[in-house]
Structures are given as C-alpha cells and as structure tokens.
Amino acid sequence: QKEVEQDPGPLSVPEGAIVSLNCTYSNSAFQYFMWYRQYSRKGPELLMYTYSSGNKEDGRFTAQVDKSSKYISLFIRDSQPSDSATYLCAMSGATGFQKLVFGTGTRLLVSP
Amino acid sequence: DAGVTQSPTHLIKTRGQQVTLRCSPKSGHDTVSWYQQALGQGPQFIFQYYEEEERQRGNFPDRFSGHQFPNYSSELNVNALLLGDSALYLCASSLRGVSYNEQFFGPGTRLTVL
C-alpha cells in the first residue's frame, strides 16, 4: 500500500464548476500537507500548504486537512481553463530533514 | 531573482551509460533535494543534500549518487543506466532552519534511456 493515495483522473469539468481533489494517507507522522500544480513538462509549483488539521483559503483555492480520517482535500471555486493541469498532493513530517511524499497526481481538465 | 535551474533540459542515453544532471538552487537556499518522476506518477524522493552531505535517502539503489558543492549547487549521477531510469528528474531547493522549509522545484531534466 502506498503512503499517499490519489485518484489519477482525469477529472473533466465545465468552466465555472467547483472542483474537489482528494488524497488519503497512512503515515500518522505527516504534519505538513501541500498541494502542488504541475503543467505539462514543467516542474511542480506550490499552491498551498497546511500545518496539521484545519482549513486554509487563498483566493479561489481552499485546502482542508482531517488528520483523524487521514484525508486531505483541495477545492477550486469558479474553475477556469487555465486551471487545467495535474494537481499533486504532498506530505512531510515536521522535524529534521524532510522529504516530500507525493500522491500520483490528479489530471484536471476544465473546458470552456 | 532566478529560481531553481536545471541542466540539461533533455538527455538521451543508452543502457549501461552514465549520466550527470545539474541543479542550481534558488538564491538564498542551502538545501537541495532530488526527485524522480516517472510518466503518470508523482515525484519520488531520491536524496537530500545539506552542507555538502547526503542527509536523507529514499529507496533508490547505489547507482544513484549525488554531490553538493560549496555554492550549494548539486549534481545527480546515475551509473549503469536501465530502461526504467527514463523519467523527469526534478531538483528542489529549500532553506533549512525556518519553520516550514518550502521546497521550490526546477523545470526538471527529462532523461530517456534507449
């Protein structure tokens, strides 16, 4: 079993839709939870990070972490064609030298 | 302010050959991590360098080795290349000592092994 599970998609939505992306994980030591966006043939770009449980909002993006269920989500409101990309969840511990553990990535397609 | 840069952009090698990939971290960063991203997969951690020493290593064989230089730049070396080593190799830099050491990724080097 992988430490981080993520549905690879693709997820196709019309412009303006609310998008929900999710990951589950098994390692209780994870404390930081990140969402990266990766366009084709580019490096991942950090969208948001959350420490421990709770919600965080940044513009059209909202990240949620439920440590009791080992479940994290990213919501995108008013989705735009420019949001079409692969969304990667990533996690790490909080001390020492930290590596990022990534999910497979979910490919999102927003049609005009 | 230049971000993380990697060279070369693309590379084609044959099985059994050796390859060296290079990374320059974002200005002010002192830690470099390397990840391998196979097609359709998320990045997998290879190793991390800080103060010119390997500090943590993922589940990769000894064919994968690295180095960090005094100016914080880094190299990833892969010996005896296998077809399965074909992937996008990503370098990420961060600053140790802050509460959240965000890792900034470069554009990657796409390695094809024939």
Query: pLDDT tens digits for B26-62?
Result: 999 999 999 999 999 999 999 999 999 999 999 999 9
Own/partner pairs, B1-4, CB within 8 angstroms, 24+ separation: B1/B26, B1/B27, B2/B26, B2/B27, B3/B104, B3/B106, B4/A43, B4/B91, B4/B92, B4/B93, B4/B104, B4/B105, B4/B106, B4/B107
**Of A44, A88, A97, which is closest to B56 when you measure between CB atoms?**
A97
Nearest CA distance, B43 vs chain A (angstrom): 6
pLDDT for B1 beyond 80: no
Residues in chain A with pLDDT values less than 50? none
What was the pLDDT predicted at B63?
Answer: 98
Q: Which residues of B touch A36 (CB under 8 A)?
A: 105
State which residue of chain A sits closest to B34, comparing Cα positions: A99
Q: Do A102 and B100 touch (CB under 8 A)?
A: no
Nearest one of A77, A104, A88 to A13, comparing CA atoms: A77
pLDDT for B13 beyond 80: yes
Q: Do B56 and A8 touch (CB under 8 A)?
A: no
What was the pLDDT predicted at B78?
Answer: 98
Mean pLDDT value across chain B:
94
